[in-house]
Chain A
Amino acid sequence: MEKNDKTTGTVTGIIANLVVVDVNGPVGQNEICYILHNQERLMAEVIKITEKQAYVQVFENTRGLKPGSKVEFEGHMLEVTLGPGMLSRNYDGLQNDLDKMEGVFLKRGEYTDPLDREKKWHFIPLASEGDEVIAGDWLGEVEENGMPHRIMVPFKLQGSYIVKSVAKEGDYTVDDEIAVIESTNGESISVNMVQKWPVKIPIKTYKEKPRPFKLLETGVRCIDTLNPITEGGTGFIPGPFGTGKTVLQHAISKQAEADIVIMAACGERANEVVEIFKEFPELDDPRTGKKLIERTIIVANTSNMPVAAREASVYTAMTLGEYYRTMGLKVLLMADSTSRWAQALREMSNRMEELPGPDAFPMDLSAIISNFYSRAGFVRLNNGKTGSITFIGTVSPAGGNLKEPVTENTRKAARCFYGLSQDRADSKRYPAIDPIDSYSKYLEYPELQETLSKTLGEQWLSNVLKAKDVLLRGREANEQINILGDDGVPIDFHERFWKAELIDFVILQQDAFDQIDASTPLERQKYMLEKVLSIVDAQFNFNHFEEVGNFFKRVINQLKQMNYSEFKSEQFNNFEKELDDILNEFSIEAEETQQATA
């Protein structure tokens, strides 16, 4: 699509942000153009071409736009600018630096540079003269907020190149030449620290994309223990409003074991984005000792910002993630909410008068969603290093109905499902992830099973599966109790129900606002799961159903106190000792010993 003479055109039709342009030359699908309106240049993207007419979606409000306005086509698709200095920035969906914009209100047609062109970076060469390199190979690195930021052979280059020269260690701006490489036919190319890449095309300069095999620790027990996500895995969180989607997402992004966190606030409340803006610079990063914001990029397109840019925002965020992945880093990408992105697609499909699919969403929604999710993943780079993008999207199902098209289609694409339940939220059982409906396909991966048994012991997987069984049996028992009444069922049913409650209260429920409970390291999760399962396995001697509830309430309280205490601290150990005393009181063995001595 590269060309020298720019195609131009004239506006002939306007329906909201869909504009029809008569063109005088070649145009490409998804090509970017600017509509000249008075003093403003409004950015737009080609979404359909019929003969001499291009249909473009404008990333801005089209108020006042008139037929006859000139249009300039750029010859490339929507691109992001990649280079050092992106961490801790706040971008809009088109990668404009929001902090560089003037005034309180967003101005139409104002586009700002995503990078700092003045700042000098300390460059250390990694490649040397004579090396053979291909796109994505590392030429050198600079340090960005304490993180190694590799300067790579531009992704757009095809074939192999010979390094002619690399700059010496020293301070350079992003636009300074840091290397010259030469193609096999003798063309030499100057490389600096900046490159551009179209957001809708995946960056594929890696060697292979193996199946994920390593658990990504999030510190959230009902994810890590029950339905773990992997490095390079995909997951989604559907939930009606008010079930704690945002709190859960923030918790994961604060705690997860990732080098880079990218948050795409896609069509959500502005005040929630403000919360991230204000909170992340304050939060200490337990992994680096710095502030969390220093390894975070926020891509914010709030619900009142232009709809077309909302669609672009998730692609922008994904492309930034792929860039950092190619540096061998672990990226966590969170998108809140992918439903808003789907709605943006629906609005546009509607204006183009396409035949609609279910709920008026475009027919290819399913393909669009799975293509997007497939860009995440764990990759092995050409130099043998690895990188990953773990992607978690939230879905806001209309009316809380999980059968609606966005949820259904995301379910086909994402490997982990964390369904938030209204009932759990109503009874304040947070995080409200439904333990029975939710799943992680990764648990079935032999690759992950192998790493889990290496790191957490051979028993781990069977323990996890057992915990799930106990939860399911507890739910069944509870249904029976509700139908037949407390004394209409054997005591055994109450025991089953309360053993499930035990796992629910101690493992699943977690206080995101408590300093200690908010994040549980894997080692501690293992300890607690084993503790709880040892109670589940124990035999107790109850004479009446009320005894069962009273006993387990005491046990749960003790274990919850342990959750709130520093791991293996004196306090923790004391609570555990008290717990063991309670257990001994009721265990059958204890009784037998007593009888024996008597």
Chain B
Amino acid sequence: MKSQAFQKVYTKLDNITKATVSLTAKGVGYDEMAIVNGRMAQVVKIMGDQVVLQVFSGTEGIPTNAEITFLGNPPQIKVSDELAGRFFNAYGQPIDGGPEIDGEIRDIGGPSVNPVRREQPSQLIATGIAGIDLNNSLVSGQKIPFFADSDQPYNQVMANVALRAKADKIILGGMGLSNDDYLYFKQVFDNAGALDRIISFVNTTEDPPVERLLVPDMALTAAEYFAVDKNESVLVLLTDMTLYADALSIVSNRMDQIPSKDSMPGSLYSDLARIYEKAVQFPTGGSITIIAVTTLSGGDITHAIPDNTGYITEGQLFLRRDTEIGKVIIDPFRSLSRLKQLVIGKQTREDHPQVMNTAVRLYADAANARTKLENGFDLTDYDERALNFARDYSDKLLAIDVNVDTDTMLDIAWELFAKYFSKAEVGIRKDLVDKYWKENA
């Protein structure tokens, strides 16, 4: 994105604020990119011949006689197979020391899919993590975030999910990623020998926050190239969407917009939906699945960011530290995958739905027993067994370090049922019990 010879260079700024500059210019298009003294900027408002530019990296040190050139196009990315295995910044420029990409230029943040052309998501994505596959199965074309507190290992879980999912391409959109986390992702993908199917767009904490706003659209435009043009299944990882939303609020604040709930812009729902709704199953076989991270502050899901996210995404996954076993688990109560009904018992074994519900119900019994215990009441024999079951269930199935296929997960669940409960207590449909009950466990 270098300035070209025939372009007009403006040299006078009329106004400068912390994030924006304005100047008198003609023939400029809305959303168009510009360069202000070498910094990337974008048109956010045109009023008569006054053009307001948002300078992504901030306006510190920009003088009124700065050089401004307009690029005549919205933010763009070059797409081709060369993207695979590469790392880029928020503008789509390589940051891994490799050469520039050759490819077709596309505008980012393109149009929406016509809803009547969408296919219903139907392909199970196996991750090996039972807390996901057994209780909250993911489906290609789904969008689902991890709701996690910032001290939880969500990036590690997400990296595991990405590597195990049989996706043709994995696209990482890192927003406000700490440099350590960026290097972690790089190393994990490298060690797994998966680098050639991974593309990363990274804005680290060292980069200006407003630049983050470009990252999801960069990642998703690349995803659309592989999903639409190449009919591939693409998994997009977006971490951390809370920092993305924070950047939105910074911009709207600097543009004197009236904030709504939690000082977020009034358009937060539409802004987030525009990104998440890029998740789609195309009729031609390609798909885009989005797994995101929304960090919570103190587990509060009523905050505007997780709240709006919850209304957009198809479920959410909660991480929780289980002190009994000293591991992080996927919380079976608060987690939900809205699309699991499309695959469980259909693409997985017939007993999947019943085993899933029964295990969670028994786990809930254990939670009640624990409350009793804490309140100093006596435990019944059933309570004791439920507690023991819960410990095993948590350790062997819910923990995020589990990596087995779905049939094995179901078998483990049956073993645990037989170990701690009678058939009547388990209460699963008789024909399934006859077929799968593990007697001498």
Q: Which residues of A contact B (CB under 8 A)?
A: 12-15, 20, 61-68, 90, 98-99, 101, 103-108, 241-242, 267, 269-271, 273-275, 277-278, 300, 302-305, 307, 340, 343-344, 346-347, 350, 356, 359-361, 396, 398-401, 426
Contact = CB atoms under 8 A, between A and B. Distances in A.
Contact of A242 (B26, B48, B336): B336
Contact of A343 (B111, B258, B266): B266
Contacts of B121: 271
B32 interface: yes
Nearest to B272: A303
A315 B110 CA distance: 27
A66 B270 contact: no
B311 interface: yes
Nearest to A279: B120
A67 B26 CA distance: 8
A303 B312 contact: yes
A300 B126 CA distance: 32
A305 B269 CA distance: 12
Interface stretch (B88-96, B162-170, B201-209, B299-307): B299-307
9 contacts: A12-B48, A64-B29, A98-B116, A242-B336, A270-B280, A304-B273, A305-B112, A356-B258, A360-B260
B112 A62 contact: no
Interface string B67-84: 000000010000000000
A15 B22 CA distance: 14
B431 to A, nearest CB: 18
Contacts of A68: 27
B32 A241 contact: no
Given A106-B111, A270-B280, A66 B28 contact: yes
Contact of A67 (B49, B110, B269): B49
B219 to A, nearest CB: 16
Contacts, number: 159
Nearest to A347: B267
Contacts of A426: 333
Contacts of A343: 266-267, 269-270
B113 interface: yes
B48 A64 contact: no
Given A20-B47, A343-B269, A346-B266, A61 B111 contact: yes
Contacts of B119: 274
Nearest to A63: B31
B230 to A, nearest CB: 14
B345 interface: no
B257 interface: yes
Interface of B: 26-32, 44-49, 74, 107, 109-121, 141-142, 228, 257-261, 265-267, 269-270, 273-274, 277-278, 280, 282-283, 302-304, 307-308, 310-312, 314, 333, 336, 339
Contacts of A356: 258
Contacts of A65: 29-30
A399 B307 contact: yes
B120 A275 contact: yes
A277 B333 CA distance: 31
Given A13-B47, A63-B74, 18 more contacts: A62-B31, A63-B109, A64-B74, A67-B49, A98-B116, A103-B117, A104-B114, A104-B117, A104-B282, A242-B336, A267-B269, A270-B113, A271-B339, A273-B115, A303-B273, A343-B269, A350-B257, A396-B311
Contacts of A340: 269
Given A303-B273, A360-B266, A270 B115 contact: yes
Given A104-B228, A303-B312, A400-B302, A90 B116 contact: yes
A269 B261 contact: no
Nearest to A346: B266
A357 to B, nearest CB: 10
Contacts of A101: 114
A360 B259 contact: yes
A108 B115 contact: no
A50 to B, nearest CB: 13
Given A12-B48, A399-B261, A277 B280 contact: no
B111 A278 contact: no
B336 A398 contact: no
Contacts of B29: 63-66
Contacts of B120: 271, 274-275, 278
A317 B383 CA distance: 54
A350 B28 CA distance: 24
A307 B113 CA distance: 15
B116 A270 contact: no
A108 B110 CA distance: 10
A12 B336 CA distance: 48
Most buried by B among A62, A304, A426: A304
Contacts of A344: 270
Which of B107, B307, B333 has most chain A Cβ within 10 Å? B307
A360 B142 CA distance: 31
A300 B120 CA distance: 16
B257 to A, nearest CB: 6
Given A98-B114, A103-B114, A360-B259, A269 B266 contact: no
User: Most chain-A Cβ atoms within 10 A of its Cβ — which of B28, B112, B266, B267?
Assistant: B266
B273 A274 contact: no
Nearest to A426: B333
A361 B121 CA distance: 35
The 3 closest A-B pairs by CB, nearest first: A399-B302, A303-B273, A304-B277
Contacts of B116: 90, 98-99, 277, 300
Nearest to B303: A399
A105 B339 contact: no
Contacts of A66: 27-30, 46
A398 B112 contact: no
Nearest to A20: B47
A300 B310 CA distance: 20
Nearest to B265: A350
Contacts of B307: 241, 398-400
Nearest to A337: B311
A361 B267 CA distance: 11
A269 B110 contact: no
Nearest to A396: B311
A304 B216 CA distance: 14
A64 B31 contact: yes
